[in-house]
Chain A
């Protein structure tokens, strides 16, 4: 169900000094009570923007949703300027989220892709997080996961903290060790493509959270598509553009055609 809600900003704080990362808590009961892990909200970002901006729901807490975001341009800058008590217009919770699984699950995140994984990590009984960051100064928010009993393992591109390399290397080790029932991934597209391929190689199910520029956010305009494979009733394979805002953002990795 989609709701339009005027949410009240309860908190909007800078997460770390080294990057334009913010953690915003918004009171919006209708959305908060209906949100599922991996879903998004579509935020109106004030004068000078024609389109809303899609942001993943990091977690819900009572009547609130937590959004963690990076300032990229006009819209996210407007968000960063909101103060406690301000009102923001939200559409949500939108889309098809992560499906919980029993057994050992892995949360694989890169950069700001870690936040959308929190809710599903909390929902699953046995989740472990594998996160990649560019360098030590960008590592943040691990406590959000650890406070919920989720063990985190970090790797950095330059080795400034933890192992040096990419998160896919941590994943390869885990998959090799075995016993993984499901991988959830969110991050840059090239990283997700590698993760999807690794999982396929090990025969482990993988759910990916896709990103694409959006218009309506409700499935009406066909702007936000990603290419997927589909099988018709006769079993013939074909290509189809699916909508990230309603069919996704979360897809079964096997469906996605990476280009």
Chain B
């Protein structure tokens, strides 16, 4: 058999392997440096950024749940200009493939941020229209098909970068949003963002999160993510970055089989910072054991009943 090839072509860009660390869980790539270099990943999706710096929500911002966590960070970030000036040059110098995750309160904001990033050497723009933790914008754009179509086509006009639209699971029919993004000109989709949830302290009767509600992620959401990736795979022909609860190489392979072209890891990395590289190794071993040459030959191979 020929040597296995872990690389994938994702919306025209070659990723050296299918493993991406997802937005909001890996900062700007420096924090996990003792465990893996951003350049060893297929790509790194950096913390969601906005036009102006954002303070974020008051703490507590995190709560543990059965097999998962809730977070309500509230898009704390230094603003797109600070990212371009202070973080991006380092990431590119290291040779990382960079997915710039963006948010805004108006469509005009999204367009402006996309425009600024288009002048840089980020590899992708990932449009977060699914953040449950900010009052204005965020998920509001991601739960109505007409708005998804509109914001996608507007942002497309302002950028020449491959545009990934990140879908919210907090909708009745995710395929409707996927089709709207595709029609709007998206080059790829990523899914899923977090599911809205809540925990309450019995003693104080106060929600654990200061924001009262927050986004659920981690193994608890994995089956939901697999289902949604499968549904979306059958609805559109765009490349898919599948994420949500992946905690092992087996989970990652399952996500690929469901229909993902590349996979994202986030929450599970908090417990095991070596996880992204362990997953890349695990996928390679699986390919070897099953005589599979290309990752693309795993993608969307589910045999539904």
Contact = CB atoms under 8 A, between A and B. Distances in A.
Interface of A: 1-4, 44, 48-52, 91, 212-227, 239-241, 246, 259
A239 B62 CA distance: 21
B59 A213 contact: yes
Query: For the complex, would chain A's binding face be called helix, strand, loop or mixed by DSSP majority?
Result: loop
A213 B61 contact: yes
18 contacts: A2-B34, A50-B65, A50-B68, A50-B219, A51-B62, A51-B271, A213-B60, A214-B62, A215-B270, A218-B31, A220-B27, A221-B24, A221-B25, A222-B24, A226-B59, A239-B55, A241-B55, A241-B76
A51 B60 CA distance: 15
A50 B62 contact: no
B59 A212 contact: yes
A113 B110 CA distance: 46
B64 A49 contact: yes
B273 A218 contact: yes
CB-based closest 10 A-B pairs: A220-B27, A223-B62, A220-B31, A219-B31, A216-B270, A2-B34, A218-B31, A223-B61, A213-B60, A222-B76
Contacts of A220: 25-27, 31-32
A222 B270 contact: no
B151 interface: no
A215 B270 CA distance: 6
Interface of B: 24-27, 31-32, 34-35, 47, 55-56, 58-69, 71, 73, 76, 208, 218-219, 267-274
Given A44-B271, A50-B68, A225 B31 contact: no
Given A50-B218, A213-B63, A222-B61, 15 more contacts: A3-B34, A4-B35, A4-B274, A49-B64, A50-B271, A213-B59, A213-B208, A215-B270, A218-B31, A222-B73, A223-B61, A225-B59, A226-B59, A227-B58, A241-B55
Contacts of B34: 1-3
A224 B72 CA distance: 11
Contacts of B32: 218, 220
Contacts of B24: 221-222
A20 B7 CA distance: 52
A85 B34 CA distance: 27
Contact of A225 (B26, B56, B66, B68): B56
A225 B61 contact: yes
B270 A213 contact: no
A224 B71 CA distance: 11
Nearest to B220: A50
A212 B60 contact: yes
B59 A221 contact: no
Nearest to B56: A241
A1 B34 CA distance: 7
A215 B55 contact: no
A223 B55 contact: no
Contacts of A49: 64, 271
Contacts of B68: 50
A217 B47 CA distance: 16
A50 B64 contact: yes
Nearest to A212: B59
A231 to B, nearest CB: 15
A109 to B, nearest CB: 23
Contacts of A1: 34
B56 A222 contact: yes
A92 B125 CA distance: 34
B62 A213 contact: yes
A51 B269 CA distance: 10
Given A222-B47, A241-B56, A216 B64 contact: no
B101 to A, nearest CB: 13
A249 to B, nearest CB: 13
A43 B26 CA distance: 19
A44 B240 CA distance: 32
A71 to B, nearest CB: 16
Contacts of B26: 220
Contacts of B272: 44
A259 B64 CA distance: 24
Given A225-B56, A225-B61, A51 B76 contact: no
A51 to B, nearest CB: 5
A1 B35 CA distance: 11
A1 to B, nearest CB: 6
Contacts of B69: 50-51, 215
